[in-house]
Structure 1
Amino acid sequence: MRRRTKNNKKTPAERARDLFSLLKALILIGILCGIPAYILLCHQEVLSNLNSLHDVLTLFRSHSEQSAVLYLGAQILQIVISVLPGQVFQIAAGYIFGFLPGLLLSLIGAAAGTTVTYFLAYILGKDAMFLILGKEKSEKLVNVLNGEKAYLIVFLLYLIPGMPKDLCCYVAGVSDMKFRPFLILSVVGRTPAMCMSLLYGVMYLHHYHLGMGIIAGAAGVLLLLLLLFRKKLMALFDRFYRRITAEKQAAE
């Protein structure tokens, strides 16, 4: 049993640990809440000028030599603090860069943003997540990503547009889920929606309105197929989970 000083006071080591946990939590709060709040309160014009495709295209054109760097930064920032309209930027990337270069930049940005958020949470730890989300909610989310369906859940979260995935990277960082499979599943899950947004931008450039309608229809069909074949998807990911688990046990 851990010893305490008289009157149940915490030891210096315990106080130092609590102070360090608080410091880590404040850093994460500053990133997740402080930076977005600062932008919204002090630089609202930045966001108001990036609400439409026309505004984003104007930004890229006015900084043509740095447009690729701007897009990568926007992709990373959207994943880390979720204040930018990610889909609008992806459509603009298809318009400005074309499909394949835009896809490459999108994948690099998504991988970089996912890496940053995962390791921020990994380094700052569970105490920070507990302070932000509450202990009960944090433990519930972590338990989901520690379960047998974790790989399927992560993949579907990123595959289906509109699913709540903003905090998934952070929760994954404090769960037992390894970084490499999480990175692969999240980036692969994002890819179909990325492709559709980029193609939409390419077709918008060439005024191919029929193609834009086809993409919107394809998105609906994809969602329907996911619902119809959800059991087969679950079985596939169960096999994937068992394989990963077996490899991990063999390595140990």
Structure 2
Amino acid sequence: MDSERKAELRKKFKVFSAIFKLILFLGIIVGIPLYLYFFQKDLIHSFSSMENVRALFAQYKAQSVLFYILAQVMQIVICVIPGQWLQFTAGYMWGFWLGYLYSLIGALIGSVLTYYIARILGHDAMHLIFGEEKIKKWLVHLNSKKAVIIVFFIFLIPGVPKDLCNYVAGLSEIKLKPFLIVSLIGRSPGMMGSLLIGRQIGTGGYVSAGIIAGVAVVLCVLCVIFRKRFTGLLNKGYDKLMKM
């Protein structure tokens, strides 16, 4: 009887723990963004243009690099915050290479955080809500070659809401290392384009900034047109990637 009672208590605790984690998870990915959108509009406005971001950075001159990295992390974790103007400003303030380094560090930290937030807080809850068998079927699709290729293109194409992918990856069984490689490589072209545009604006090269933006659009279109070739290359590296 004692063993049955202990088993029942463990089961109840597991359910309670999963529900508590789910509430925390939803609070991070839904509650905080809604709170900021409705009650902290000034904060969101601070990230809504290059002038606003530069004015915000001016308040943290001595710690501007650290503040930028933290802002990049926050933008990924709380996906309602605009991120494009951050990278424009980084290119303007620090140039291409330093801006890319700081942006990459912020994206790396933000991706790791969102991945583990989903894994720690959301994984058990998904099993509780949808059932273990159904989750296993979904994971087969989430961990497939096709899914990894889709993730790559989501991160590659500008304007696509990509940061929620970090949470989806955390809910799946995909390993952190291959996910980071795919997502950071996918992020890099858009990130580099934004940094270059910011750098050109900083040096007064508005025409050059426009040309870079045009080239970025053309490259994205070419990636879509020749997606089968890219898919072939990704397929070749998939098995090696998943072993990492």
How does the TM-score come out when normalised to structure 1?
A: 0.86
Q: CA contact under 8 A between 1:111 and 1:183: conserved in structure 2?
A: yes
2:208 alignment partner in structure 1 = 211
1:11 Cα offset (Å)? 2.3
Gaps of 5+ in 2: none
Q: Which amino acid aligns with 1:168?
A: C
1:54 aligns with 2:51: yes
Q: Which range moved further: 219-228 or 82-91?
A: 219-228
Q: CA contact under 8 A between 2:76 and 2:107: conserved in structure 1?
A: yes
**Could you say what secondary structure the match of 1:234 adopts?**
helix
What value does the CA root-mean-square deviation take over the aligned residues? 2.4
Q: Which range moved further: 53-62 or 191-200?
A: 53-62
1:227 alignment partner in structure 2 = 224
1:158 Cα offset (Å)? 0.6
Moved segments of 4+, more than 4 Å: 138-143
Q: CA contact under 8 A between 2:45 and 2:52: conserved in structure 1?
A: no
Q: Which amino acid aligns with 2:115?
A: Y
1:143 Cα offset (Å)? 4.3
| 2:189 counterpart (183, 189, 192) | 192
How many Å separate the matches in 1 of 2:45 and 2:122?
34
1:66 aligns with 2:51: no
1:21 alignment partner in structure 2 = 18
1:107 aligns with 2:107: no
2:171 alignment partner in structure 1 = 174
| 2:84 counterpart (87, 91, 99) | 87
How does the TM-score come out when normalised to structure 2?
A: 0.88
How many Å separate the matches in 2 of 1:217 and 1:148?
31
1:41 alignment partner in structure 2 = 38
1:98 aligns with 2:95: yes
How many Å separate the matches in 2 of 1:95 and 1:141?
43
Q: Residue deviations 1:149-171, cap 9 Å, x none?
A: 23212211111112232321111
Aligned-pair identity (%) = 41
Gaps of 5+ in 1: none
1:142 Cα offset (Å)? 4.3
How many Å separate the matches in 2 of 1:127 and 1:222?
41
Q: Which amino acid aligns with 2:107?
A: A
How many Å separate the matches in 2 of 1:43 and 1:174?
29
Q: CA contact under 8 A between 1:24 and 1:128: conserved in structure 2?
A: yes
How many Å separate the matches in 2 of 1:202 and 1:36?
30
2:239 alignment partner in structure 1 = 242
1:146 Cα offset (Å)? 1.3
How many Å separate the matches in 1 of 2:54 and 2:127?
40
Q: Residue deviations 1:21-74, cap 9 Å, x none?
A: 001101111111222223233322222233211111111123211211111111
**Could you say what secondary structure the match of 2:145 adopts?**
coil
1:180 Cα offset (Å)? 0.3
1:125 Cα offset (Å)? 3.6
Q: CA contact under 8 A between 1:121 and 1:174: conserved in structure 2?
A: yes
